[in-house]
Amino acid sequence: MMALFVYLSAALDARLATAELPLEQPVIKSLAIVGTNLVFNATFPPGVEQAVLDVRPTLMADWEAAARLDVPTNGGDLEFGIPQPALDTAFFRLSLILQATSQAESSDPIEYVAVPSLAHINTNNGPPAEAVFHFKGQIDGSDRIIISHTGAVWEHVNWDWPAGAVMVNESQWKPFEKNFITTTGAVPFLPAMYSLADARLEVTAGRDLIALERTNNALIVYLDDTPCGAAPYEFKIHFPRQSAVRPVEIRASPAAVLKIAAQVDGSDRLKITAHEATWTNLAWGIPATVKLNEVSWNLSQTNVLLNAGTNTYLPPGIDFSTAKIVHREGRDVATMWADNEAVWVSFADNPNGGDAYELEISFGQ
Protein backbone atom coordinates (compact mmCIF):
# COMPACT_ATOMS: atom_id res chain seq x y z
CA MET A 1 0.00 0.00 0.00
CA MET A 2 1.05 3.58 -0.59
CA ALA A 3 0.83 6.49 1.82
CA LEU A 4 1.15 10.23 2.05
CA PHE A 5 3.86 12.11 3.91
CA VAL A 6 3.04 15.80 4.03
CA TYR A 7 4.87 18.93 5.14
CA LEU A 8 2.26 21.60 5.84
CA SER A 9 3.48 25.17 5.56
CA ALA A 10 3.07 28.23 3.39
CA ALA A 11 4.85 31.46 2.58
CA LEU A 12 3.94 34.51 0.52
CA ASP A 13 5.98 35.72 -2.44
CA ALA A 14 7.80 39.04 -1.91
CA ARG A 15 5.92 40.57 -4.87
CA LEU A 16 2.89 41.01 -2.62
CA ALA A 17 4.65 44.00 -1.06
CA THR A 18 3.57 46.07 -4.08
CA ALA A 19 -0.11 45.09 -3.78
CA GLU A 20 -2.66 47.22 -1.97
CA LEU A 21 -3.79 44.17 0.02
CA PRO A 22 -3.08 42.85 3.53
CA LEU A 23 0.19 40.92 3.76
CA GLU A 24 -1.52 37.56 4.26
CA GLN A 25 -0.69 34.21 2.73
CA PRO A 26 -2.44 31.08 1.50
CA VAL A 27 -2.12 28.33 4.08
CA ILE A 28 -2.80 24.65 3.44
CA LYS A 29 -4.08 23.57 6.85
CA SER A 30 -4.79 19.88 6.36
CA LEU A 31 -5.07 16.99 3.95
CA ALA A 32 -7.19 13.85 4.26
CA ILE A 33 -8.06 10.74 2.28
CA VAL A 34 -11.72 10.54 1.28
CA GLY A 35 -12.40 7.51 -0.88
CA THR A 36 -10.00 7.75 -3.82
CA ASN A 37 -9.47 11.51 -3.47
CA LEU A 38 -7.03 13.77 -1.65
CA VAL A 39 -9.05 16.45 0.13
CA PHE A 40 -7.30 19.71 1.02
CA ASN A 41 -8.43 22.38 3.46
CA ALA A 42 -6.84 25.78 2.86
CA THR A 43 -7.26 29.37 4.00
CA PHE A 44 -7.00 32.18 1.45
CA PRO A 45 -6.42 35.92 1.90
CA PRO A 46 -9.01 38.37 0.54
CA GLY A 47 -8.69 39.70 -2.98
CA VAL A 48 -7.88 36.40 -4.69
CA GLU A 49 -9.18 36.07 -8.23
CA GLN A 50 -8.32 32.40 -8.69
CA ALA A 51 -6.22 29.67 -7.07
CA VAL A 52 -4.33 26.84 -8.78
CA LEU A 53 -3.14 23.68 -7.06
CA ASP A 54 0.22 22.77 -8.65
CA VAL A 55 1.91 19.37 -8.44
CA ARG A 56 5.31 17.95 -9.38
CA PRO A 57 6.83 14.51 -8.67
CA THR A 58 10.29 15.77 -7.58
CA LEU A 59 11.97 19.00 -6.54
CA MET A 60 13.64 19.31 -9.96
CA ALA A 61 10.53 18.65 -12.08
CA ASP A 62 8.31 21.36 -13.54
CA TRP A 63 5.11 22.36 -11.79
CA GLU A 64 1.87 21.27 -13.44
CA ALA A 65 -1.66 22.45 -12.63
CA ALA A 66 -3.71 19.75 -10.87
CA ALA A 67 -6.84 21.82 -10.10
CA ARG A 68 -8.24 25.34 -10.55
CA LEU A 69 -10.32 26.85 -7.77
CA ASP A 70 -12.80 29.69 -7.48
CA VAL A 71 -12.04 31.54 -4.24
CA PRO A 72 -14.58 33.78 -2.44
CA THR A 73 -13.79 37.49 -2.82
CA ASN A 74 -13.31 37.90 0.92
CA GLY A 75 -11.09 34.83 1.21
CA GLY A 76 -11.47 32.35 4.05
CA ASP A 77 -11.50 28.56 4.32
CA LEU A 78 -12.05 26.39 1.26
CA GLU A 79 -12.16 22.61 0.96
CA PHE A 80 -11.35 20.96 -2.35
CA GLY A 81 -10.21 17.60 -3.64
CA ILE A 82 -8.35 15.89 -6.47
CA PRO A 83 -7.93 12.21 -7.43
CA GLN A 84 -5.01 10.54 -5.67
CA PRO A 85 -1.99 10.76 -8.01
CA ALA A 86 -0.25 7.53 -8.95
CA LEU A 87 3.12 8.71 -7.63
CA ASP A 88 5.54 7.49 -4.95
CA THR A 89 6.37 11.10 -4.05
CA ALA A 90 4.85 14.42 -4.95
CA PHE A 91 4.99 18.10 -4.04
CA PHE A 92 1.95 20.40 -3.97
CA ARG A 93 1.69 24.17 -3.80
CA LEU A 94 -1.05 26.78 -4.19
CA SER A 95 -0.63 29.54 -6.77
CA LEU A 96 -2.85 32.63 -6.44
CA ILE A 97 -3.93 35.24 -8.95
CA LEU A 98 -4.67 38.44 -7.00
CA GLN A 99 -7.43 40.75 -8.21
CA ALA A 100 -5.49 43.92 -7.51
CA THR A 101 -2.29 42.88 -9.23
CA SER A 102 -3.06 39.96 -11.58
CA GLN A 103 0.14 38.41 -10.23
CA ALA A 104 0.61 34.78 -9.37
CA GLU A 105 1.64 34.15 -5.77
CA SER A 106 2.56 30.68 -4.49
CA SER A 107 2.62 28.81 -1.22
CA ASP A 108 5.53 26.59 -0.24
CA PRO A 109 5.26 23.00 -1.46
CA ILE A 110 3.66 20.08 0.36
CA GLU A 111 5.55 16.80 0.09
CA TYR A 112 4.17 13.29 0.39
CA VAL A 113 5.78 9.86 0.25
CA ALA A 114 4.61 6.27 0.73
CA VAL A 115 4.20 3.95 3.76
CA PRO A 116 1.85 0.99 4.33
CA SER A 117 -1.35 0.86 6.35
CA LEU A 118 -1.04 0.11 10.07
CA ALA A 119 -3.15 -2.99 9.45
CA HIS A 120 -1.37 -5.52 7.23
CA ILE A 121 -4.53 -7.17 5.95
CA ASN A 122 -4.03 -10.50 4.23
CA THR A 123 -6.88 -11.18 1.81
CA ASN A 124 -6.57 -14.91 2.47
CA ASN A 125 -6.56 -14.79 6.27
CA GLY A 126 -8.70 -11.68 6.81
CA PRO A 127 -7.89 -8.69 8.99
CA PRO A 128 -5.48 -9.17 11.92
CA ALA A 129 -6.65 -8.93 15.53
CA GLU A 130 -4.94 -5.57 15.93
CA ALA A 131 -3.26 -2.78 14.00
CA VAL A 132 0.12 -1.55 15.24
CA PHE A 133 1.93 1.80 15.12
CA HIS A 134 5.58 0.85 15.83
CA PHE A 135 7.86 3.87 16.36
CA LYS A 136 11.67 4.02 16.53
CA GLY A 137 13.64 7.27 16.53
CA GLN A 138 15.77 9.85 18.29
CA ILE A 139 13.91 12.51 20.29
CA ASP A 140 15.54 15.76 21.43
CA GLY A 141 12.85 18.03 22.84
CA SER A 142 9.09 17.75 22.81
CA ASP A 143 6.92 16.52 19.96
CA ARG A 144 3.45 15.11 19.48
CA ILE A 145 1.94 12.75 16.92
CA ILE A 146 -1.79 12.97 16.26
CA ILE A 147 -3.13 9.66 14.94
CA SER A 148 -6.55 9.28 13.33
CA HIS A 149 -8.12 6.69 11.06
CA THR A 150 -7.04 8.72 8.02
CA GLY A 151 -3.41 9.41 8.97
CA ALA A 152 -0.88 10.77 11.47
CA VAL A 153 0.38 14.35 11.87
CA TRP A 154 3.72 15.18 13.53
CA GLU A 155 3.82 18.49 15.42
CA HIS A 156 7.12 19.75 16.80
CA VAL A 157 6.96 21.84 19.99
CA ASN A 158 10.37 22.50 21.59
CA TRP A 159 14.10 22.24 20.83
CA ASP A 160 15.20 20.04 17.92
CA TRP A 161 13.04 17.74 15.86
CA PRO A 162 14.55 14.36 15.01
CA ALA A 163 17.70 14.49 12.90
CA GLY A 164 17.25 12.30 9.85
CA ALA A 165 14.48 9.75 9.69
CA VAL A 166 12.43 7.96 12.30
CA MET A 167 10.76 4.63 11.59
CA VAL A 168 7.04 3.89 11.64
CA ASN A 169 6.64 0.15 11.25
CA GLU A 170 9.05 -0.56 8.36
CA SER A 171 8.86 2.88 6.72
CA GLN A 172 11.08 5.92 7.08
CA TRP A 173 9.55 9.23 8.16
CA LYS A 174 11.50 12.51 8.14
CA PRO A 175 9.46 14.70 10.50
CA PHE A 176 9.77 18.41 9.99
CA GLU A 177 7.07 20.57 11.53
CA LYS A 178 3.51 19.35 10.89
CA ASN A 179 4.11 16.31 8.75
CA PHE A 180 1.36 13.94 7.70
CA ILE A 181 1.36 10.26 6.71
CA THR A 182 -1.59 8.30 5.35
CA THR A 183 -2.27 5.51 2.90
CA THR A 184 -3.27 6.09 -0.70
CA GLY A 185 -4.28 2.49 -1.36
CA ALA A 186 -7.58 0.72 -0.83
CA VAL A 187 -6.83 0.02 2.87
CA PRO A 188 -7.05 3.13 5.14
CA PHE A 189 -4.16 4.17 7.37
CA LEU A 190 -6.08 2.79 10.36
CA PRO A 191 -9.19 0.92 9.16
CA ALA A 192 -12.45 1.78 10.92
CA MET A 193 -12.66 -1.71 12.46
CA TYR A 194 -9.77 -0.79 14.81
CA SER A 195 -10.43 1.19 17.98
CA LEU A 196 -8.67 4.47 18.76
CA ALA A 197 -10.33 4.72 22.18
CA ASP A 198 -9.01 1.35 23.37
CA ALA A 199 -5.44 1.76 22.15
CA ARG A 200 -2.70 0.25 24.33
CA LEU A 201 0.83 1.65 24.70
CA GLU A 202 3.84 -0.68 24.88
CA VAL A 203 7.14 1.11 25.65
CA THR A 204 10.41 -0.56 24.66
CA ALA A 205 12.87 2.33 25.08
CA GLY A 206 12.76 5.96 26.17
CA ARG A 207 14.46 7.75 29.05
CA ASP A 208 11.67 10.27 29.59
CA LEU A 209 8.01 10.86 28.77
CA ILE A 210 5.83 8.86 26.37
CA ALA A 211 2.13 9.49 26.99
CA LEU A 212 -1.19 9.02 25.21
CA GLU A 213 -4.30 11.20 25.22
CA ARG A 214 -7.72 10.54 23.70
CA THR A 215 -9.30 13.34 21.72
CA ASN A 216 -12.16 13.66 19.24
CA ASN A 217 -11.74 10.80 16.73
CA ALA A 218 -7.97 10.81 17.27
CA LEU A 219 -5.17 9.77 19.59
CA ILE A 220 -2.32 12.09 20.64
CA VAL A 221 1.13 10.67 21.38
CA TYR A 222 3.30 12.98 23.49
CA LEU A 223 7.07 12.51 23.27
CA ASP A 224 9.09 14.69 25.62
CA ASP A 225 12.80 14.25 26.25
CA THR A 226 13.76 16.83 28.90
CA PRO A 227 17.39 15.67 29.65
CA CYS A 228 20.19 17.22 27.60
CA GLY A 229 20.85 15.83 24.14
CA ALA A 230 18.86 13.33 22.13
CA ALA A 231 17.92 9.78 23.12
CA PRO A 232 16.43 6.73 21.38
CA TYR A 233 12.71 6.08 21.79
CA GLU A 234 10.81 3.00 20.76
CA PHE A 235 7.19 2.12 21.41
CA LYS A 236 4.20 0.34 19.94
CA ILE A 237 0.58 1.44 20.01
CA HIS A 238 -1.76 -1.52 19.67
CA PHE A 239 -5.20 -0.80 18.20
CA PRO A 240 -7.60 -3.72 18.86
CA ARG A 241 -10.41 -4.62 16.51
CA GLN A 242 -13.76 -3.17 17.55
CA SER A 243 -15.24 -6.67 17.87
CA ALA A 244 -12.44 -7.60 20.28
CA VAL A 245 -13.13 -4.69 22.62
CA ARG A 246 -14.93 -5.77 25.78
CA PRO A 247 -18.27 -4.05 26.53
CA VAL A 248 -17.90 -1.06 28.80
CA GLU A 249 -19.55 -1.52 32.17
CA ILE A 250 -21.81 1.48 32.73
CA ARG A 251 -22.04 2.40 36.37
CA ALA A 252 -23.32 5.43 38.20
CA SER A 253 -20.66 7.99 39.05
CA PRO A 254 -20.94 11.16 41.09
CA ALA A 255 -20.05 14.35 39.26
CA ALA A 256 -16.71 15.73 40.39
CA VAL A 257 -13.86 17.95 39.26
CA LEU A 258 -10.19 17.49 40.11
CA LYS A 259 -7.81 20.42 39.57
CA ILE A 260 -4.10 19.55 39.70
CA ALA A 261 -1.63 22.43 40.05
CA ALA A 262 2.18 22.25 40.21
CA GLN A 263 5.34 24.16 39.30
CA VAL A 264 6.97 21.75 36.86
CA ASP A 265 10.66 21.81 35.85
CA GLY A 266 11.35 18.56 34.03
CA SER A 267 8.93 15.65 33.74
CA ASP A 268 6.58 13.96 36.20
CA ARG A 269 3.82 11.38 36.23
CA LEU A 270 0.88 11.13 38.62
CA LYS A 271 -1.35 8.07 39.14
CA ILE A 272 -4.72 8.77 40.76
CA THR A 273 -7.02 6.08 42.14
CA ALA A 274 -10.02 6.13 44.44
CA HIS A 275 -7.71 5.42 47.40
CA GLU A 276 -4.52 7.37 46.76
CA ALA A 277 -2.41 9.52 44.47
CA THR A 278 1.20 8.57 43.65
CA TRP A 279 3.70 11.09 42.22
CA THR A 280 6.73 9.86 40.23
CA ASN A 281 9.48 12.26 39.15
CA LEU A 282 11.02 11.22 35.82
CA ALA A 283 13.62 13.93 35.19
CA TRP A 284 15.02 17.12 36.74
CA GLY A 285 13.42 18.83 39.72
CA ILE A 286 10.62 17.56 41.94
CA PRO A 287 7.84 20.14 42.38
CA ALA A 288 8.04 21.77 45.82
CA THR A 289 4.27 21.85 46.25
CA VAL A 290 1.39 20.21 44.45
CA LYS A 291 -2.29 20.93 44.96
CA LEU A 292 -5.14 18.50 44.29
CA ASN A 293 -8.16 20.77 44.46
CA GLU A 294 -7.63 22.50 47.83
CA VAL A 295 -5.36 19.81 49.25
CA SER A 296 -1.67 20.82 49.46
CA TRP A 297 0.83 18.02 48.94
CA ASN A 298 4.47 18.28 50.07
CA LEU A 299 6.37 15.83 47.85
CA SER A 300 9.57 16.19 49.91
CA GLN A 301 7.74 14.39 52.72
CA THR A 302 5.90 11.72 50.74
CA ASN A 303 5.09 10.89 47.13
CA VAL A 304 1.86 9.11 48.14
CA LEU A 305 -1.24 11.04 49.20
CA LEU A 306 -4.17 9.08 50.67
CA ASN A 307 -7.63 10.15 49.55
CA ALA A 308 -8.95 10.33 53.10
CA GLY A 309 -9.69 12.68 55.95
CA THR A 310 -8.50 16.26 55.43
CA ASN A 311 -6.64 15.07 52.31
CA THR A 312 -9.79 13.91 50.46
CA TYR A 313 -9.44 15.10 46.87
CA LEU A 314 -12.27 13.06 45.26
CA PRO A 315 -15.57 11.70 46.59
CA PRO A 316 -16.17 7.93 46.75
CA GLY A 317 -17.73 6.04 43.84
CA ILE A 318 -15.93 7.84 41.00
CA ASP A 319 -16.00 6.07 37.63
CA PHE A 320 -12.54 6.91 36.34
CA SER A 321 -13.43 5.89 32.78
CA THR A 322 -15.56 9.06 32.57
CA ALA A 323 -12.52 11.32 33.06
CA LYS A 324 -12.26 14.26 30.64
CA ILE A 325 -9.82 17.17 30.42
CA VAL A 326 -11.81 20.41 30.71
CA HIS A 327 -8.95 22.89 31.18
CA ARG A 328 -5.17 22.95 31.02
CA GLU A 329 -2.39 25.49 31.41
CA GLY A 330 1.36 25.23 30.83
CA ARG A 331 3.82 25.85 28.01
CA ASP A 332 4.56 22.19 27.28
CA VAL A 333 2.85 18.88 28.14
CA ALA A 334 -0.10 18.48 30.51
CA THR A 335 -2.10 15.40 29.59
CA MET A 336 -4.19 12.53 30.97
CA TRP A 337 -5.10 8.91 30.21
CA ALA A 338 -7.86 7.04 32.05
CA ASP A 339 -9.30 3.56 32.41
CA ASN A 340 -11.94 2.09 34.74
CA GLU A 341 -9.77 2.13 37.84
CA ALA A 342 -7.27 4.98 37.57
CA VAL A 343 -6.13 8.15 35.86
CA TRP A 344 -2.53 8.77 34.76
CA VAL A 345 -1.49 12.43 34.49
CA SER A 346 1.74 13.45 32.77
CA PHE A 347 3.53 16.79 32.97
CA ALA A 348 6.69 17.77 31.07
CA ASP A 349 8.39 21.15 30.79
CA ASN A 350 11.18 21.13 28.20
CA PRO A 351 12.13 24.83 27.88
CA ASN A 352 14.73 26.22 30.29
CA GLY A 353 13.47 26.83 33.81
CA GLY A 354 10.11 25.79 35.18
CA ASP A 355 6.52 26.84 34.59
CA ALA A 356 3.18 26.72 36.37
CA TYR A 357 0.93 23.89 35.18
CA GLU A 358 -2.73 23.19 35.78
CA LEU A 359 -4.87 20.30 34.60
CA GLU A 360 -8.58 20.21 35.38
CA ILE A 361 -10.37 16.86 34.98
CA SER A 362 -14.11 16.22 35.22
CA PHE A 363 -15.79 12.93 36.18
CA GLY A 364 -19.33 11.68 35.72
CA GLN A 365 -20.32 14.48 33.36
Question: Which of these three, 217, 244, 271, is where a domain ends?
Answer: 244
Note whether residue 286 is domain-resident: yes
How far, in Å, CA of 114 to CA of 55, rounded? 16
User: Do residues 322 and 346 both lie within one domain?
Assistant: yes
| Residue 67 banded pLDDT, cuts 50, 70, 90 | confident
What does 276-328 look like in DSSP terms, one character per residue? EEEEEEEEEEPPSEEEETTEEEETTT-SEEESSGGG--S-TT--GGG-EEEEE
What is the tens place of the pLDDT at every residue in 126-143?
Answer: 788 899 999 999 999 999
Note whether residue 62 is domain-resident: yes
Note whether residue 84 is domain-resident: yes
User: Do residues 261 and 200 both lie within one domain?
Assistant: no
User: Do residues 95 and 144 both lie within one domain?
Assistant: no
CATH of the domain at 83: 2.60.40.10
| Residue 331 banded pLDDT, cuts 50, 70, 90 | very high
Domain ranges, residue 331: 256-363
User: Do residues 275 and 358 both lie within one domain?
Assistant: yes
How far, in Å, CA of 113 to CA of 221, rounded? 22
Q: Are the C-beta atoms of residues 67 and 109 closer than 8 Å to each other?
A: no
User: Do residues 25 and 108 both lie within one domain?
Assistant: yes
Mean pLDDT over the full length of the chain: 82
How far, in Å, CA of 223 to CA of 210, rounded? 5
Note whether residue 121 is domain-resident: no
What three-state secondary structure class fits 249? coil
What total number of domains does the chain contain?
A: 3
Question: Which of these three, 210, 244, 278, is where a domain ends?
Answer: 244
Note whether residue 207 is domain-resident: yes
- H helices within the chain, ranges in order? none
User: Do residues 200 and 139 both lie within one domain?
Assistant: yes
Note whether residue 250 is domain-resident: no
User: Do residues 215 and 295 both lie within one domain?
Assistant: no
What is the tens place of the pLDDT at every residue in 264-299?
Answer: 999 999 999 999 999 999 999 999 889 999 999 999
Q: Are the C-beta atoms of residues 155 and 176 closer than 8 Å to each other?
A: no
Note whether residue 32 is domain-resident: yes
User: Do residues 106 and 164 both lie within one domain?
Assistant: no
Q: Are the C-beta atoms of residues 31 and 110 closer than 8 Å to each other?
A: yes
What pLDDT is attached to residue 126? Answer: 72
Note whether residue 303 is domain-resident: yes
User: Do residues 358 and 261 both lie within one domain?
Assistant: yes
**Which stretch of DSSP H or E encloses residue 28?**
strand 27-34
| Residue 168 banded pLDDT, cuts 50, 70, 90 | very high
How far, in Å, CA of 270 to CA of 99, rounded? 56
User: Do residues 15 and 88 both lie within one domain?
Assistant: yes
Question: Which of these three, 63, 84, 112, is where a domain ends?
Answer: 112
User: Do residues 295 and 346 both lie within one domain?
Assistant: yes
Stretch 147-171: mean pLDDT: 87
User: Do residues 261 and 359 both lie within one domain?
Assistant: yes
